[in-house]
Amino acid sequence: MFVPIEQPLDLSNTLTSGQAFRWRPDGEWFEGVVFANIVRLRRRPGGIELRCAPDDEALIAPLLGDYLGLRDDLEAIYASIATDDLIKAAIARYRGMRVLRQEPWECLISFICSPVSNVPRISRNVEDICENFGRRITMGDRVRSRFPTPEELAEAGEKRLRGLGLGFRAASVAAAARSVADGQIDLVPLRESSYDEALDALTALVGVGDKVANCVLLFSLDKPEAFPVDVHVSNVLRESYLRGSEAKISTKAMRLWAQEHFGRYAGYANQYLFHGRRQLRINAGRT
């Protein structure tokens, strides 16, 4: 099914910029699992081509624009954050890259898997979680698995998660699954909450600090001002934005500084700076 798109969209950089971990390039196509479907996408002039299973394409197509962040007015966002040459260069290079609007539960668990790790390993951890505890889905001869429900993952338990190679993150994943399954935290309503309220709710979870929480807020909970400060973004800020005396402030202080500096769409600035720095390192032979 062809899905027409009016707004600019760089599908490749959107799906491979470290926001989500289940998209696999396959020639011109990208294959992922969203909305309990195997979804295959290919960029075409004027839109994207969609294949999915088991649901009908007409059912998934309306959800796609939402997931891909096409509701965001990119030009307005660029005008808001393009206040210096570094950001402007990143925008020029990755114009059309979007901040995804993911399913909050999967996004939370994915980023709990992220501390002191790397994208290939996080991707493998998430995929292993799905294959072991999620329901299998097929599309022709292709087999993938849904992301497990909170109940299914809570049932798995820390020990089996460690067995998948999650390391010390296993305890946090198990605890978060239990909290969500028991209703101690309700993720989707946090989309309606203020940034500060949602941040507090997330950081109450074990294994969720300021950085992981800001990833979940930005990539799934409609908080475009969220600004995750990881080691790469921290380096960019210290090298190009902060004065000498400011360079040794804490990561949370950096986050507050950046939100003040970049404004209500600070999260977009974050994503462009992050992706730009990562691409540089990859081109330099490091991951």
Determine the Cα–Cα distance for residues 33 and 40; give it in Å rounded to an integer. Answer: 9
Among 169, 198, 199, 241, binds DNA (CB under 7 A): 169
- The answer to whether the beta carbons of residues 42 and 32 sit under 8 Å apart is no
Query: How many CA atoms lie less than 13 Å away from 160 in the CB half-sphere?
Result: 13
Question: Contact 229/259 with Cβ under 8 angstroms?
Answer: no
**282 interacts with DNA by CB under 7 A:** no
Determine, following the binding rule CB under 7 A, whether residue 103 of this chain makes contact with DNA: no
Output the smallest distance, CB 282 to DNA, in A: 10
Residue choice 208, 218, 258, 266 for contact with DNA (CB under 7 A): 208
By CB under 7 A, residue 284 contacts DNA: no
To DNA, the closest distance from the beta carbon of 179 in angstroms equals 12
Write down the catalytic residue from 88, 211, 248, 252.
211
HEC per residue, 84-130: CHHHHHHHHHHCCCCCCCCCHHHHHHHHHCCCCCCHHHHHHHHHHHH
- Report the chain's C-alpha Rg in angstroms: 19
H or E stretch at 198? helix 195-203
Q: How far apart are CA 149 and CA 132, in angstroms?
A: 12
| Residue from the set 188, 231, 247, 282 that interacts with DNA by CB under 7 A | 231
In the complex with DNA, the residue whose CB is nearer, 122 or 198, is 122
Q: For DNA, which is the closer residue by CB, 2 or 168?
A: 168
Cβ closest to DNA, residue 13 vs residue 114: 114
Q: Is residue 211 flagged as an active site residue?
A: yes
User: Residue 57 burial (CB < 10 Å; 0-12/13-18/19+)?
Assistant: middle
Query: Under the criterion CB under 7 A, does residue 207 sit at the interface with DNA?
Result: yes
Contacting DNA (CB under 7 A), which of 3, 15, 18, 22? 18
Nearer to DNA, 87 or 122 (CB): 122
Of positions 27, 45, 62, 248, contacts DNA by CB under 7 A: 248
- Residues of the shown chain interacting with DNA in the complex, contacts defined by CB under 7 A: 18-19, 21, 114-122, 124, 162, 165-169, 172, 203, 205-213, 230-232, 248, 250-251, 253, 274, 278, 287
